[in-house]
Amino acid sequence: MTEEQNLLTGSVPKKLIAFAFPLLLANVLQSFYNVVDMLVVGQIVGDTGLAAISNASKLCYIINSICIGINHDRLIIGKFCSIACGARFLFNSANHSMTSLSTYPFPIFFEEWGLSIGNVTNAWDNKGDIVIGNDVWIGYEAIILAGVTIGDGAIIGTRAVVTKDVPPYTIVGGVPAKPIRKRFSDEIISSLLETRWWDWPEEKISDNLAAIQSGRIE
């Protein structure tokens, strides 16, 4: 075997190491991040509701908050929600205008184009707030777009991209997210929406935990 063919001699191993090291380092950092991310789960949302919100989701929310102050977007999260690591909420300012002849955000660069700073929000289409209902489970790295409302009890699959409203107690998944099935019958869903157990006092919820966890509606 010639030296050019032998990957264990010459400069080839050094090249392989130089190529692989950044990838290895990135994986190590990502693993460390995931561990830290899991450790910070468990934030209180609302007066009585417990929601599990990952650090990645909070970071995304903080970054988008810079533009929320301009556009007045809101992320509304109900009670007893579970939001997995890497979930993203894309506010209006993350979009570009599709009604314009060009999607380029000219209003953001108002100084260069002699535009008014008061018209910065014209750089994107305003689709409204993101509303997450109660008892919603948002899976790993799911993306929720601006203007979307997710109904009570819904489940968003891993890495789903939610572009439209999700009905209560519906499981969705895919890109873009589409309904997979309802969690319960229409009769049970109606009863749950009428009961609104998440609004009960903590003592009543505690007394009925066995029924809630077993799926009994009576």
- Active-site residues, by number, are 96
Q: How far apart, in whole angstroms, are the C-alpha atoms of residue 155 and residue 133?
A: 11
Give dist(CA 129, CA 118) in Å, integer. 21
Helices (H) and strands (E) in the chain — how many of each? 6, 13
Q: Which stretches does DSSP call E strand in the chain?
A: 43-44, 50-53, 75-77, 82-83, 88-90, 130-132, 137-138, 143-145, 149-150, 155-156, 161-162, 170-173, 178-182
Question: Which of the 8 DSSP states describes residue 30?
Answer: H
